[in-house]
Amino acid sequence: MSALLLQNGRLIDPANGVDAQRDLLLLGGKVAAIGDSALEAAPKGVESVDISGLVVCPGLIDSHVHFREPGQSAKETIGTGSAAAAKGGFTTVVCMPNTTPAIDTAGTVALIQDKIERQADINILIAGAITKGLAGEELAPIGSLKGAGVVAITDDGACIQNNELMRRALEYANMFQLPVFDHCQDNHLVGNGVMHEGYWNMVLGLPGWPSSGEEIIVARNIHLADLTQTHVHCQNISTAGSVRLLKEARARGIPVSGEASPHYFTLTDASVAGSDSFWKDDGEKLFSYLASPVDLPSWPSYDTSFKMTPPLRAASDRQAVIEGIAEGTLSIICSDHAPHCNYEKEVEFDIAPFGITGLETELALSLSLLYHAGHMSLSQLIERFTTGPSQLLNLDKGTLGLGSVADVTVFDPEADWVFDRDTCLSKGENTPFHGWPLRGKNVMTIVSGEIVWQEASRTKASATASA
């Protein structure tokens, strides 16, 4: 029976209201003891790790990733994606269905589950498609997908435009107690937009993507959630208007929720224009948490690493997203990890694919720009990565209560480091954060009581006899 004793760490477990220095004993894949009783209950010869000065918390959950299998393994695989997640501190992730073929049948779910069993060191859950082939025309067999093991349904980047079809999808999902994820995008308003509609798209001569293209679908989803009483989770929230709509709807008790990715509370549309404009408007503020001056990163104009969907918004939108996360309107932080091959991104901005990687920077960016910047406490931040997604997906995770599954993340909230994409475990190098100075770093990832990733220089292991 596997056993691991984590000693002298700061245990933060929002689900149980814990924030104190306590030992943690993991035995047989479960949390066996906490606090003074942990050493007493430890079996003879248990592996002990001194994590003084580090935070230990429930294993982080990312409810929005793209691992590209089946069909797009040149971009990412279950194996490389899970390795990147483990390095980033994530013990559980949810894969989106925009694969080739799309995850719209029980057979495709079974294929991916087989790959997960053979390749993954972390928990990988699967979201099924709402419509066949993500085409937005005919509902997928939602009951069969539920039976095969999907934890949610979504057409991800292919937002359903037919409101009647969306209503029927919600009614079916309600029957099977599945949350519905929706990437909020009105295709008629968005058109051929590739960046936020505002000052900078006019300067750069790029087609604009208006905020209303997101907000109208958010409003649609709120109305349908109220009508059907099915939980709708709005993905990729990026505008102040969307945050306001969700806040008002949640106050009325409508079953809706929202998420934010680090790029939306970190970057703005000015970054597409180049380093001078970005740092003049925003850059110095971003690194005010650092104790000493640093060499600020730079990039050329039209860098496709800054092309994602929805696009980077104005500074006022970024501030609204930060406030939405801090107050709980946006109850989940996730990466929208979307790796692409280098050659796909090395083209003109207009024709490059949307998306960036994020699993290996997500925790550090959140610590840097939300915790160290003073917007929220560590416990609140950890809640967005644990109890938030766990409650949405009805998982038995996101807690370190006695008897719970021993999925654990250990991180150093004060570690200063510079992100280098060349050290990534993901196949994708399409990130805008190369060269960024960050504060806070994952140190150890534990899944079912087994260490699946650790930064050896930051921990010290020894054998400990039972008391």
Catalytic residues: 336
Q: How far apart are CA 120 and CA 116, in angstroms?
A: 5
Backbone angles phi, psi at 292, to 5 degrees: -135, 155
Ordered DSSP codes for 148-214: HT-SEE--TTS----HHHHHHHHHHHHHTT--EEEE---HHHHTT--EESSHHHHHHT--EE-THHH
Paired with 61 in beta bridges are: 92
C-alpha closest to that of 103 among 114, 112, 94: 112
Work out whether the CA dihedral 24, 27, 30, 36 comes out positive or negative: negative
Which residues touch 144 (CB under 8 Å, ≥6 apart)? 105, 106
Tokens of 173: 């999902």
Question: Nearest 5°: CA angle at 343, between 342 and 348?
Answer: 110
Question: Nearest 5°: CA angle at 258, between 97 and 398?
Answer: 80
CB of 417 within 8 A of CB of 438? yes
Ordered DSSP codes for 92-133: EEEE-S-SSS-S-SHHHHHHHHHHHHHH-SSEEEEEEPSBGG
CB of 214 within 8 A of CB of 227? no
CA distances from 99 to 64, 68, 329 (A): 14, 6, 30
CB of 137 within 8 A of CB of 131? yes
Q: How far apart are CA 96 and CA 439, in angstroms?
A: 29
